[in-house]
Amino acid sequence: MSGIDSLAPAGKRILVRSDLNVPLEGTTITDDGRIRASVPTIEALSDAGARVVVLAHLGRPKGVPDAAYSLAPVAARLGELLGKDVAFATDTVGESASATVAGLGDGDVAVLENVRFNPGETSKDDTERGAFADRLAELGDAFVSDGFGVVHRKQASVYDIASRLPHAMGRLVETEIDVLRRLTETPVRPYAVVLGGSKVSDKLGVIDNLLEKADTLLIGGGMVFTFLKAQGHEVGQSLLEEDQIDVCRDYLARAEAQGVKILLPTDIVVDTTFPSGEHTPAPVVVPAERIPADSLGLDIGPASATAFAVALAEARTVFWNGPMGVFEVEEFSHGTRVVAEALTKVDGLSVVGGGDSAAAVRQLGFADSDFGHISTGGGASLEYLEGRELPGITVLN
Ligand code: ADP
Ligand code: MG
């Protein structure tokens, strides 16, 4: 028996670390995706008769209470999604938390105020973090780790607490880790990896590691231009990381030596006025090796988008991280839309990872269910794919 059932949760106070770090405008939640993703574990524990105490953070407060980062609106939304009252404690380990937890009956749910209102949560000092974890542990009989977006962080409510209480993975973390294993251990082939986004330097570890595992690497987004430059082409005003040109050249050589196909765009949508938003003259499509000196590459061109979709149609496993262009602007969203569409048709496992990539598919009108999996943890999934250890997972094993 693994997972939450192994804790025999009925009647116990179960501390659940969730990732409820949603975007807020004032007290209005603009995207409740992370709260929804946290519901299955909380609901399962509540249905099993546990007294559920949810730990979470919101934003980056400076280790002191800050009303702008209160979890109160999040607790209210969680209550709506669960269809039941959710108690809210106005502190994390103080009198309100103690009283709130003591007041829970079997099956009840409470949310404690932002763990990051306490300096011990994110402290680099093991003793300070441990002292805070000790106080958190007094509030529960067992711990469930379900905040996938934070499992790469060595923090009190993620890491230190697990060594103080009986513990288990929550359903979200189990699902995420299972998908990541399928992408790294024995992927069903052909395995295609699509990488984009803004910078190569953000994704070096991922490229390094997946170059060993994938059959095809498709490259779009802002990182394209450093690859094009590495091939000897001029890229005009496009995003270019001079200090990564040699690295990209090395990736191209390694791919060739290992028989991994790298697909780069052959055409690019360029603009001379971005980011003014005027688009006069209108954006044009140019060959990738002839980007004019005054132009900025902002999307892969239509021929490239089609070629990417064709390549993806053959794949049985696809991992995608990083938009193909500046998808936030309609004129530069075509490549991202075509790639997203292609992922929805994959006969096999399709996975979207990365915060902006997940936002892109939703903004472009796709449903989460169109994909095999949309990872809730950008940083955590990328670190896993780099082959790095995730402290919040290691501590559970
Ligand atoms: P993720 O969060 O999915 O890992 P990134 O943070 O790496 O993705 O990149 C997302 C950003 O990359 C988007 O805001 C998008 O506008 C930007 N981007 C994509 N293509 C380009 C480009 N050609 N030039 C500049 N920025 C780009
Ligand atoms: Mg991002």
φ/ψ of residue 216, rounded to 5: -135, 140
Give the C-alpha separation, 147 to 56, whole Å.
8
pLDDT score of 279: 73
Q: Whose CA is nearest to atom 21 of ligand 1?
A: 222
Give the C-alpha separation, 151 to 134, whole Å.
19
Cα-to-centroid distance, 170 and ligand 1 (Å): 31
What is the mean pLDDT of the segment spanning 301-311?
98
Q: So which residues are the catalytic ones?
A: 34, 199, 355, 379
Residues around ligand 2, an ion, CB closer than 5 A: 355-356
pLDDT score of 276: 80
Give the C-alpha separation, 374 to 361, whole Å.
9
pLDDT score of 275: 84
Which ligand gives the minimal distance to the CA of 381?
Answer: 1
- Nearest CA to 326 out of 376, 370, 268, 245 is that of 268
User: Looking at the predicted structure, is the pLDDT value of residue 313 above 70?
Assistant: yes
User: Looking at the predicted structure, is the pLDDT value of residue 278 above 80?
Assistant: no
What is the mean pLDDT of the segment spanning 62-73?
97
Global pTM reads 0.88
pLDDT score of 296: 96
What is the mean pLDDT of the segment spanning 249-276?
94
Q: Whose CA is nearest to atom 4 of ligand 1?
A: 354
φ/ψ of residue 187, rounded to 5: -60, 140
Give the C-alpha separation, 272 to 54, whole Å.
50
pLDDT score of 225: 98
pLDDT score of 365: 95
Residue 284 CB contacts under 8 Å (≥ 6 apart), including other chains = 269, 270, 271
Burial 211-245 (b: 16+ CB within 10 A, else e): bebbbbbbbbbbbbbbbbbbeebebbbbbbbeebb
**297 touches ligand 1 (CB under 6 Å):** yes
Cα-to-centroid distance, 172 and ligand 2 (Å): 21
Give the C-alpha separation, 145 to 161, whole Å.
10
What percent of the chain shows pLDDT beyond 90? 89
Give the C-alpha separation, 115 to 58, whole Å.
8
pLDDT score of 239: 96
Give the C-alpha separation, 298 to 213, whole Å.
29
The larger pLDDT score, comparing residue 356 to residue 16, is at 16
Confidence of residue 282 (pLDDT cuts 50, 70, 90): confident
Confidence of residue 355 (pLDDT cuts 50, 70, 90): confident
Q: By CB neighbour count within 10 A (0-12 exposed, 13-18 middle, 19+ buried), where does 294 fall? A: exposed
User: Looking at the predicted structure, is the pLDDT value of residue 1 above 70?
Assistant: no
pLDDT tens digits, one per residue of 146-190: 999 999 999 999 999 999 999 999 999 999 999 999 999 999 999
pLDDT score of 33: 87
Q: Which residues pair with 350 in a beta bridge?
A: 318
Q: Which amino acid is at 9?
A: P
Question: Which ligand 1 atom lies nearest to the CA of residue 220?
Answer: 20
- Nearest CA to 385 out of 148, 206, 204, 202 is that of 206
Question: Which ligand 1 atom lies nearest to the CA of residue 199?
Answer: 7
Please provide the average confidence, as pLDDT, over all residues in the chain.
Answer: 95
What is the mean pLDDT of the segment spanning 342-359?
94
Give the C-alpha separation, 80 to 82, whole Å.
6
What is the mean pLDDT of the segment spanning 230-242?
97
Give the C-alpha separation, 266 to 110, whole Å.
54
**239 touches ligand 1 (CB under 6 Å):** yes
pLDDT tens digits, one per residue of 203-221: 889 999 999 899 999 999 9
pLDDT score of 346: 97
